Amino acid sequence: AQSVTQLGSHVSVSEGALVLLRCNYSSSVPPYLFWYVQYPNQGLQLLLKYTSAATLVKGINGFEAEFKKSETSFHLTKPSAHMSDAAEYFCAVSSPSSGSARQLTFGSGTQLTVLP
Amino acid sequence: DTAVSQTPKYLVTQMGNDKSIKCEQNLGHDTMYWYKQDSKKFLKIMFSYNNKELIINETVPNRFSPKSPDKAHLNLHINSLELGDSAVYFCASSPSTGGYTFGSGTRLTVV
């Protein structure tokens, strides 16, 4: 079984400030981990993914995330927030196995607000 | 050249009606999925097909029936629509190596 916990359903930062969105996972097998972004009334866009290669993963729009096995975490960061980063962010876990383990299990999402 | 395309984008219908949502992917992926996003934005898997074979069928009412005519298509048919079915439905696909591509969603409103 696998699950994801996103700490903080709402996060507010000032423009130019550090963005930190927290994600902890639970998985009985080595996980694949993902961050997706959803802008209002739009679909899900992949920001970045970890698939057992480098533990520090760089994604689009200046975001990155670090896989920490000891902490079972995959927190998303961006050094300097832009107004355009305001959106809903989802952390998700799957595994490289076949069958039902391949499914993506999502966290409950974090709404990021960027203040001018 | 959209990778995962869903139609329609919006669907407004009355209770009791039957409706279908279509999904097509041109990525050559072997697995396709249907996810439901509720009003609180929580995303939950409904079904998964691998090479036209059903491999995941979560606790979903029997009124929901997926159909995969081929590896590139996964449609969702819903019978006797209820108010609680109102949500955004996302189609997705993935290769065996992981990495999921989502469609832009179908916003279903049952009135």
Q: Chain A residue with minimal CA distance to B40?
A: A108
- Name A107's Cβ contacts closer than 8 Å, sequence gap at least 6: A4, A5, A6, A23, A90, A91, A92
CB contact under 8 Å between A104 and B33, yes or no, is yes
The alpha-carbon gap from B35 to the nearest alpha carbon of chain A, in Å, equals: 10
Q: Chain A residue with minimal CA distance to B4?
A: A43
Closest residue to A43, CB basis, from B33, B55, B90: B90
- Name B71's Cβ contacts closer than 8 Å, sequence gap at least 6: B29, B30, B32, B51, B52
Q: How high is the pLDDT of residue A99?
A: 58
Tell me how many residue pairs between chain A and chain B have CB atoms under 8 A apart. 62
CB A115 within 8 A of CB A10: no
Q: How high is the pLDDT of residue A41?
A: 83
Write the pLDDT tens digit of every residue in B45-74.
998 888 778 877 777 899 999 999 998 999
Give the phi and the psi of residue B28 in degrees, each rounded to 5: 75, 15
Dihedral sign (CA B51, B55, B60, B62): positive
Q: How high is the pLDDT of residue B59?
A: 78
- Name A91's Cβ contacts closer than 8 Å, sequence gap at least 6: A4, A6, A21, A23, A25, A33, A34, A35, A74, A76, A106, A107
Measured distance CA(A37)–CA(B88) in Å, rounded:
16
Q: Chain A residue with minimal CA distance to B5?
A: A43
Here the tokens at position B5 are 């395309």
**Residues of chain B in Cβ contact (below 8 Å) with chain A:** 31, 33, 35, 40-45, 48, 50, 55-56, 90, 92, 94, 96-105, 107
Per residue of chain A (116 residues), what is the pLDDT tens digit?
Answer: 789 999 999 999 999 999 999 999 998 778 889 999 999 888 899 999 998 778 999 999 999 999 999 999 999 999 999 999 999 999 999 876 655 556 788 999 999 999 99
